Amino acid sequence: TQLLEQSPQFLSIQEGENLTVYCNSSSVFSSLQWYRQEPGEGPVLLVTVVTGGEVKKLKRLTFQFGDARKDSSLHITAAQPGDTGLYLCAFRRNTGKLIFGQGTTLQVKP
Amino acid sequence: GAGVSQSPRYKVAKRGQDVALRCDPISGHVSLFWYQQALGQGPEFLTYFQNEAQLDKSGLPSDRFFAERPEGSVSTLKIQRTQQEDSAVYLCASSAPARPHTDTQYFGPGTRLTVL
């Protein structure tokens, strides 16, 4: 059983479209992180959300932490082929180890 | 400066062979983590070092998996008598001194292990 459930698992869209991916759990978290992983590379941290209801923007990417701190979403506006990759949400245990969701594979076609 | 490096990038092993995967963390990073990632899935935690001390090995899937970091820098993940289910990408990550619960983990590119 996944502690973090991500949806959809796979998304294929055309350049210029908008999309939202979700990260859900029944547990409450002190913070959640989002990573992007490109083929042949390790995950790279995009953002950490800490406060319930928090919204953070990174260029065309908008991250939101649910009010109850059980879920998070990532919205991409006007997707570009360079956005292609595996998007992962994760939380960090006190020991530092990261627990990841299963990821959303995004393919943006030119 | 250099990021986390891993070698080899690709490894093909016959079932039953032993393999050793190397991780060179960012210089000065005290914390080092190993993760296993199946194709199209999120990484799963294997083990964690602070300097040379292995503080958490709860994620190692069997006693065929062994990790070490004898001098607190380079780490090696060893898999004995490899099985097909060991096929995965093995990721290494390091983070800044002594604050693993807050500092960003920087990942290497991974070693893709294929067991035939």
Q: Report the range of poorest mean pLDDT among B5-9, B30-34, B102-106.
A: B102-106
Question: What are φ and ψ of residue A83, in 5° steps?
Answer: -80, -10
d(CA B87, CA B75): 20
What's the pLDDT score for residue A102? 96
A87 exposure class (CB count in 10 Å sphere: 0-12, 13-18, 19+):
buried
User: What residues in chain A have per-residue pLDDT under 50?
Assistant: none
Q: What is the pLDDT of residue A53?
A: 93
Residues in chain A with CB shorter than 8 Å from the CB of B67 are none
CA distance B80 to A14: 45
Report the pLDDT value the prediction gives residue A2, as an integer from 0 to 100. 76
What confidence category does residue B110 fall into, taking pLDDT thresholds of 50, 70 and 90?
very high
Check CB contact under 8 Å for A95 and B100: yes
Q: What value does the mean pLDDT of chain B take?
A: 93
Report the pLDDT value the prediction gives residue B1, as an integer from 0 to 100: 56
CB contact under 8 A, B105 and A45: yes
Give whichever of A83-97, B74-88, B90-104 has the largest mean pLDDT.
B74-88
> How far is the C-alpha of B65 from the C-alpha of B21, rounded, in Å?
11
Give CA–CA dist B91/B114, Å, rounded: 14
* pLDDT reported for residue B99: 61
Average pLDDT in the B94-105 region? 74
pLDDT of res. B69: 97
- Is B42–A92 a contact, with Cβ atoms under 8 angstroms apart? no
Average pLDDT on B101-106 reads 80
pLDDT at B101 over 70: no
CB pairs under 8 A between A and B: 62
Specify the pairing of strand B88-95 against strand B106-107. antiparallel
Pairing of strands B10-13, B111-115: parallel
State pLDDT tens for residues A60-83.
999 999 999 999 999 999 999 999
Q: Is B63 exposed, middle or buried (0-12, 13-18, 19+ CB in 10 A)?
A: exposed
Taking the CA of residue A104 and the nearest CA in chain B, the distance in Å comes to: 9
**Residue B8, preceding peptide bond in cis (omega within 30° of 0):** yes
